Amino acid sequence: MIGFMGCGKSTLGRSLSSSLKLTFIDLDSFLEEKYFRTIPQIFAEEGEDAFRRKERNVLEEVSAFDNVVVATGGGAPCFFDNMELMNTAGFCIFLDVNIDSLISRLENAKTERPLIKGKSPEEMRVFIEGLMQKRRPFYEKAHYILKGDEIHPEDVIQLVKDEMPDHTAN
């Protein structure tokens, strides 16, 4: 599951994995456990480049797993050849939630996100619109795209059952 911060990757990934009886992996949590630090700590202490290298490392590790549903961080598809790695390792679904919904979710979110921390609603809109424009070409390399104001677990489950029947026959 890929897409911008706040699009619902982790929530939808969790529902999908429980419906398909697969293991769910949140790449950000996996990274934090492996490096014994939170993402805000890594950004603050080592900077974004170091975070991206760690993100790439965990992505390579997770790409070798079978029978898992993975939700990546919003930036993961947009660095190195991560998108190619993901597309080769599995099926990528881009959750394409519109900007207004992303902003309202991010404003109400409890998770600390270093890239948007401390931004006013106006700054956040400008930032998200600009970043989405840069990231969209990467996201759009996904095998499947689900679009909406809100994407529901049933939408994702249906897509996977329709498009990947060989992988959901359990």
Interatomic CA distance for residues 162 and 157, integer angstroms: 9
Q: Which of residues 35 and 161 has its CB atom nearest to ligand S3P in the complex?
A: 35
Ranges within 127-166 binding ligand S3P (CB under 6 A): none
The contact pattern for ligand S3P, residues 14-43, with x = CB under 6 A and - = no contact, is --------------x----------x----
Token match 């990274």: residue? 31
76 CB neighbour count, 10 Å cutoff: 25
Closest CB 170 distance from ligand S3P, rounded Å:
27
Q: Which of residues 37 and 113 has its CB atom nearest to ligand S3P in the complex?
A: 113
Tokens of 153: 């677990």
Q: Quick check: 96 binds ligand S3P (CB under 6 A)?
A: no
Q: Confirm if 8 and 26 have CB atoms less than 8 A apart.
A: no
Token match 């029978």: residue? 67
> What single letter denotes the amino acid at residue 106?
L
Interatomic CA distance for residues 105 and 8, integer angstroms: 9
Q: Quick check: 115 binds ligand S3P (CB under 6 A)?
A: yes
Phi and psi at residue 7, to the nearest 5° = -85, -10
Closest CB 128 distance from ligand S3P, rounded Å:
10
Q: Quick check: 68 binds ligand S3P (CB under 6 A)?
A: no
Considering only 13-21, 68-76, 136-144, 152-160, which stretch makes contact with ligand S3P by CB under 6 A? 68-76
Residues engaged in binding ligand S3P (CB under 6 A) = 5, 28, 39, 73-75, 113-115
